[in-house]
Chain A
Amino acid sequence: MKLMHRLTAAIGARRAWMCFPLLTLAATAAMGGDAFAPSPQREQKLVRMVRQDCGSCHGLQLTGGLGPALTPAALRAWSADNLAATILHGRPGTPMPPWSTLVSADEAEWIARRLLEGFPQEGTVVR
């Protein structure tokens, strides 16, 4: 099992590396804005997902829990690319799972950028 785990991790890391130049290009193209923007409905879903589902480990306010804090101050040392790769492929050896079956690479990049600038709050809760 451990071997498989490591193998998956290695493949994950390799994929992340292969993504790197592409993501960098996207970032350059997006100076001052994003190359990719989810639809308003999807955006709402992503914001809720990060706040609520990621929040079950990282906290609703993203101030940390079992997972580390995801506030801009806490993420100072992180690039958007590395964050996006972590979202997609997880962190082997920790409880952080790979989310690539639930978000696309573009969406992971979008989430990473929002985290670095201070993640948006959810819209008013509908009763």
Chain B
Amino acid sequence: MTEKRRLTPFLANEMLFDYVTGQLDSERRELMDDFLDEDSSGKEDNVETRALLESVRQGIKYAESLKSIELTSEALREIEQAENFASLSKRVARWSEWPDSLRWSIVALLVSVSTAAMVVAIPWKAIPIFKSGPSFLSGSIEIARVQPRSSGDDPNLGNVTLGNEDDRDGVEIASNEGSGDEEFGGEETPVAAIPGPKVAGSRSEAPVVPLPTATPIEMPVATLPVESPSQAASSQTASKSSRGFVYRAFMTLSDLENIAPKITQQMKELGAEKAGEVELGWRRGSGRYYHFSLPEANEPKLLDSLRAYGPVRISKDPHPRVMPEGQVRFILWIESGI
């Protein structure tokens, strides 16, 4: 019969932890049990092992009791909220972690920017329903205050539309210090509708409405035929005679009260006819106003007679109104002064 193997104290001590925690296999556990119970054999080398066994048991018990230690709420909150750059970056990058107020602000900002960008980017003028104000495409243009008149009054006008922007004196006088003339006219300017290319949904479909007539005119003028954009190119080649103009003259005379009747008389002798509602030499403030048409041939004579009283500043300004052949139109203002 073989003698049972016996553990050395060193091996027993090293296996104590596994022995206590139940990690030993059955054979080694049996050997450990035998070693620890050997006091009856008279050997005392297991005394130290027994003491160590107790220490291991107590050590495990003490270590497990360490779990009962608690962190204060402040310390726990401090470490729970710990962040470093990487964690913070990832958290900030996550949209769902952003504060609601910030998220909604950003959404509102994006909507505003998108709306503004859309308003700027969309070519509203190209959309018919959003067109506003007169334009060449609309087929109507504001040229002047015109007054329709029978073409039979002036054979020179032919079949052009008749009108005189200066002849709404009866309407304008009340609000424009009584002149009724374009020189003293207010900003109120009716629109003369002129047929143009029809555009679906555009204002060109609006009916052409004749301007209201205040009083009959004495000096009819023709309005410029307004061209549609497609006709604009051809208008470039129109003769210069088709372009209207008006002479605007200005004088300053010291003895205007005495000179004005003479000038009026001289104008009439040269064939001048008032082109507005007011009479020639109409008094306005301290000045005199002359708006008249004149045979073109008498234009030099008129200027000579005016220069006899003083210097004349004159300019030839383009004007949409075209005078009959051989006629020119003048607007003269004489200011009383030294």
Task: Tell whether A pairs with B.
Answer: no
Residues on B facing A (Cβ under 8 Å):
none
